[in-house]
Structure 1
Amino acid sequence: FRGYPPEYGYDFLREAIAAYYKRNGVTVSADDVFVSDGAKSDVGNIVDILGKNTVLIPSPVYPVYMDSNLMNGNRIELLEAGESDGFLGTPDLLDGETYVIYICSPNNPTGAVYDRAGLKAWVDYALASGSLIIFDSAYEAFIKGDYPHSVYDIEGAEKCAIEICSFSKMAGFTGTRCAWCVVPSTLETEGGFNLKKMWARRQATKFNGVSYPVQRGAEAALSEEGVRQCAELVDYYMQNAKIIADTLTKVGVWFTGGVSSPYIWLKCPNGMSSWEFFDYLLEKAQIVGTPGEGFGEAGEGYFRLTSFGSRENTLEAVARLEKLLEK
């Protein structure tokens, strides 16, 4: 242990994170990387430097986006997404208003992933309207296929977007607490305030940094061998997701996700509400999932299952699920 660490993270980890981006074809300066104790913390704390704004949040939504802005007294507009658009909200019907826009891809809870054109539409809107994107990429390690792993894959994003990512899902750091936030030095408010300098001041004032052993562990996770082992972990969970998806297909339940995401987002059968389905699964099969209503009104009638579990538990759960729903 080395006493208080640097508030922004040790250079060895910031440089490892920048190198991780480079391997994915994205250029990020290590000096723009801020190491933190979790993506959830960054999502909640970023409002400290943004003042009062109108916030646009695609729904269904990770609750922290909503709650942190409610606590800050911000005006919130929800952009509801659904089956018709693949649970991927678009800026097509927006009128050019300036927002702080929250985007999560791959999405929690729906598992939806923006392709390059879809993400470019949001970046183009932000640049044209003076909006700021908060891009949550906590699940980027689960992406399969030709989808952007970072908002900075899109030209111009460095002028309109902050990106937050986590070691929790990619490397099993849940509870250990380590993540990062990229705030480009090119990012400024309309009044000329530099957001990187503001975030640096905020972190130096309210945060004492992530411990040395945790940051060394995070650095190891981003090494060549670490990335290989993380990929094995991700593949294990994605095999669980396939087992769940195959079972839902077999019993005729509509779902999305589970391809580039550890989450399965299903439509509650027989017209049940999300909490009715929760009770039904718990009482009849002793299976627990997350009611969609917990992710906002747009989540009502849907239900989230997760692949974050052992193979043994996953196989037992789907066996119970199949027996229950095939009746």
Structure 2
Amino acid sequence: MSVIPNNHVATSISSSSCTFLGQHKLSTTIRTKNVWLPAKYTGICKCVATPEQTAYTTKVSRNFNIGKLQAGYLFPEVARRKTAHLLKYPDAQVISLGIGDTTEPIPEVITSAMAKKAYALSTREGYSGYGAEQGEKPLRAAICSEYYANLGIEADDVFVSDGAKCDISRLQVVFGSNVTIAVQDPSYPAYVDSSVIMGQTGQYQKDVEKFSNIEYMRCTPENGFFPDLSTVSRTDIIFFCSPNNPTGAAASREQLTQLVQFAKKNGSIIVYDSAYAMYMSDDYPKSIFEIPGAKEVAIETASFSKYAGFTGVRLGWTVIPKDLLFSDGFPVAKDFNRIVCTCFNGASNISQAGGLACLTPEGLEAMQEVIGFYKENTKIIMETFISLGFKVYGGKNAPYVWIHFPGQSSWDVFSEILEKTHVVTTPGSGFGPGGEGFVRVSAFGHRENVVEACRRFKQLYK
């Protein structure tokens, strides 16, 4: 520290110098930013904080498109709010009916096949390393036989994967950044978010809660949750989920015929998500390939997650017919195969052993029992909200109940339910602007938890 006598010029000193001055019985009189010395020092010194150290940064720019995403992905955000609620109420018995994660044990006929495969890997005869990126031939053949018999689909049209969600992103890589997309509104958020990340969209428009350059196909109770295609603009790719997540609505044969004809007229490709097809009770198509002409315009993706409890095991598949061609005549399947071989080493051989067991007669019966359990949960939830006077949708053909709270914010309803009942749901607006005013309640839960949650709902809304 230096003190300049007589001319009262302020001198900058560091924080450590202030400590040093304190040892000299510095006056306790403090004025803004100035420290006054005792009279024998005829000058002013000024304390200035040591400049903060800045973190090292690389010279690599962030992906501009990821920066366009709004807040966090829906389900991690729901989980974050659940965690915050538990910190606030550490003794609360929180029941999760939000994220669509299965809760019931995987049937033993399936886990025993996986265990047998796992133990075999410890032997010379049973060990296997890398498998075919497209999946093991017996599993591809079994999927084709069970779900696509007599539909003109062949075993080598089936690509086995680690889940439908992963394949959606791989398909986006195939399509690239120059395509346009359409989505149901509301719909599973992975379709929109993967499109944003790929650079297919413009900026997020807060006034309408949409990304520009995406065609949002509004699905409401008034149109039976099937979009009015006469008002939908032409896009390259159409993402369509039936039964739908989150509304639970399943498309009829007539509606899917309209969709296929619409795609063919516009030269578009449908990415058909059939992850909940086995939950359908009505006589609706379980595959898009039941519709004439679909092989020329559609891809289908599916999963064992919600059938066999494979949400953690990870196993799904995507079907790309040989008849599906790009505008230059090149087969879409060949490009998808290239992406799979480049970005993926194939699904786990243990999970594929489980998938093969799922498709045995015993495995299919066991999966139907699990599905039946969740459908009974759905019935309990639906009857609860109907008894309380709510407009309730979905449920019959899907493990989700879509409940209308007219005039209310979805996140506000989510927060009120969590705060007053300690039950986690999912706000409808997280699935798109068309979901505002709705809340999705998942039927994936232990029976006692579903019953208890419904008891709490009745207390809240009686």
TM bin (shorter chain): over 0.9
In the alignment, which residue of structure 1 is the partner of 2:415?
Answer: 279
1:92 is paired with a residue whose SS is helix
1:257 alignment counterpart: 394
Partner residue of 2:356?
Answer: 219
Paired letter, 1:170: Y
Matches within 5 A, 1:59-138: 59-74=185-200, 75-94=213-232, 97-138=234-275
Higher helix share: 1
> Which residue is equivalent to 2:75?
none
- Tell me if 1:40 matches 2:165: yes
Alignment of 1:114-193 (within 5 A): 114-193=251-330
Matching of residue 198 in structure 1 with residue 335 in structure 2: yes
- CA distance in 2: counterparts of 1:229 and 1:296, whole angstroms: 35
Conserved 8 A contact 2:217-2:232:
no
Residue 313 in 1 paired to residue 449 in 2? yes
Say whether the 8 Å CA contact 2:219–2:225 is kept in structure 1. yes
Q: Matched residues in 2 for 1:258 and 1:26: separation? A: 28
Gaps of 5+ in 1: none
**Considering only aligned residues, what root-mean-square deviation do their CA atoms show, in Å?**
1.2
Q: Deviations over 1:119-150 (max 9, x none)?
A: 00000111111100000000001011210000
TM-score of the superposed pair, with normalisation by structure 1: 0.96
Counterpart position of 2:429: 293
Q: Distance in 2 between matches of 1:297 and 1:93?
A: 17
Deviates more, 1:26-35 or 1:135-144: 26-35
How big is the shift at 1:221?
0.5
Q: Which residue does the alignment assign to 1:13?
A: 139
Q: Give the C-alpha shift of residue 191 in structure 1.
A: 1.3
Find runs of 4+ consecutive structure 1 residues off by over 4 angstroms.
Answer: none
What residue identity is the alignment partner of 2:215?
E
Per the TM alignment, residue 65 of structure 1 is displaced from its structure 2 partner at its CA by 0.2
- Between the aligned partners of 1:310 and 1:187, the Cα distance in structure 2 is 42
**Residue 58 of structure 1 corresponds to which residue in structure 2?**
184
Corresponding residue for residue 242 of structure 1? 379
Residues 54-80 of structure 1: CA distance to partner in whole angstroms, max 9, x if unpaired?
101110011100011111111311111
SS class of match (2:230):
coil
SS at match of 2:146: helix
Could you say what secondary structure the match of 2:362 adopts? Answer: helix
Alpha-carbon displacement from aligned partner over 1:41-98 (angstroms, at most 9, x marks no partner): 0111101111211101110011100011111111311111111012222412235x34
Aligned AA for 1:244? Answer: I
Distance (whole Å) between structure 2 residues aligned to residue 67 and residue 94 of structure 1 = 20
Separation (CA, whole Å) in 2 of partners of 1:239 and 1:310: 11
Q: How many Å separate the matches in 2 of 1:264 and 1:323?
A: 19
How far has the Cα of 1:27 moved from its partner? 3.7
Inter-partner Cα distance in structure 1 for 2:353 and 2:269: 32
Q: SS where residue 79 of structure 1 aligns?
A: strand
Letter in 1 for 2:452: E
* Distance across 1 between alignment mates of 2:439 and 2:244: 14
Q: Could you tell me how far apart the structure 2 residues matched to 1:67 and 1:281 are?
A: 27
5+ residue gaps, structure 2, are 1-120, 122-127, 201-212
Q: Is the 8 A contact 1:6 1:209 kept in 2?
A: yes
Question: What is the rounded CA distance, in whole Å, between the counterparts of 1:21 and 1:238 in structure 2?
Answer: 21
Contact 2:163-2:317 at 8 Å conserved across structures: yes
CA shift for structure 1 position 190: 1.0
Q: In 1, distance between residues paired with 2:421 and 2:251?
A: 34
Query: How many residue pairs end up in the alignment?
Result: 323
Is the CA contact 1:21–1:28 (under 8 Å) kept in the aligned structure 2?
A: no
Q: In structure 1, the residue corresponding to 2:130 is in which secondary structure? A: coil
Counterparts of 1:131 and 1:14 in 2: how far apart (Å)?
27
Percent identity between the two aligned chains: 42
Q: Which amino acid aligns with 2:227?
A: G
8 Å CA contact retained: 1:21, 1:27: no
CA distance in 2, matches of 1:88, 1:282: 31
Q: Which amino acid aligns with 1:39?
A: A
8 Å contact kept, 2:241–2:274: yes
How far apart, CA to CA, are the structure 2 residues paired with 1:78 and 1:255? Answer: 23
- Residues 22 and 60 of structure 1, relative CA distance in 2, 3 Å threshold: closer
1:1-51 Cα deviation digits (max 9, x unpaired):
41111100000100010011245x534210100000010001111011112
Q: Specify the alignment match of 2:16 in structure 1.
A: none
Using the alignment, how far apart are the partners of 2:235 and 2:455 within structure 1? 49
TM superposition shift of 1:171: 1.0
Tell me the SS of whatever aligns to 1:283.
helix
